[in-house]
Amino acid sequence: MKDTSAIKKFKRFLQIEKGLSDNSIYAYTYDLKKFGEFLTSQKKDILSATGEDIKQFLRFEKIKKHNSSRTLARSLAAIRQFYNFISDTMGDLENPTNKVETPQVKKNLPDFLTIKEINKLNDSISESDVYELRDKALFELLYSCGLRISEAVGLIVNHIDFTNKYIRVRGKGNKERLVPMGDEAVRLLKKYINESRPVILGNNRTSEYIFISKKGPLLNRKSVWRLLKGYVERIDIHKNITPHTLRHSFATHLIENGADLRSVQELLGHLDISTTQIYTHMARRKLKEIHKKYHPRA
């Protein structure tokens, strides 16, 4: 099996067996491409690479390319996944990543908004303007349902069950989950669909997507980032706020108010509970801040 053939088969495996998105597949194959180019410069190939070759590649990326530990860990994860696949396909090939340690990555806790800040952002967006009403409904879904931005902009009309107050979400790995909607999300979504969406859509266009732009069939992710940034500039909040910040806020507020980790994992669509555990750290950080601020002996 040649290098290019092996990588093509791995790519099909990620697409068909793992059900990964195009972006995830690109990230995996990009890291493998970098590794392959390094091996070629050393007159070696990917199917005969050793653990020492992988360590040298990571050192090269760190020293010569000045890549962070997080980037190195991601590259190693892609290489490890590739060799896991190859080892399963070619039983006599030992996985060279088995003795390669993952670079230590410092976990930075993401920013989140307080409930007061969420309300301030919400109050700054008008419901009388057709586009602002659309944006307000979208941001409410991101926050009150904990959606990823790609999940929110990918929602189509028949994903919404207003009777039972649920939305059907297709997340990472093409996994589907049901997420409950709060009363405010239901109210804003109904108002947007009835009053604003037909105006934006006009008489000559149709779209299956819920959130549409003035010219396109759906609102793209970059536009949502830009729109949210504009609304944040209206209010006095000095944090690095992105659409994902609303998802972080959703999970943090659930944990702070006593939700169990497994339930939050299910709502977020995390495959691994270790990904969800970061929100317990965020809740602990806030408790420490409260203790330091209000306790006389802190």
Which residues are designated catalytic? 148, 172, 244, 247, 270, 279
CA-closest candidate to residue 10, choices 48, 62, 47, 37: 47
Task: Pull the structure tokens for residue 270.
Answer: 């995390």
How far is residue 11's CA from residue 8's CA, in Å, rounded to a whole number? 5
CA-closest candidate to residue 39, choices 63, 51, 57: 57
Chain centre to alpha carbon of residue 266: 15
Task: Pull the structure tokens for residue 262.
Answer: 């497994």
CA 234 to each of CA 72, 121, 134, 220, 270: distance values in angstroms, whole numbers, following the listed order: 38, 9, 18, 22, 33
DSSP structure class, residue 195: I
How far is residue 125's CA from residue 192's CA, in Å, rounded to a whole number? 13
DSSP structure class, residue 174: G
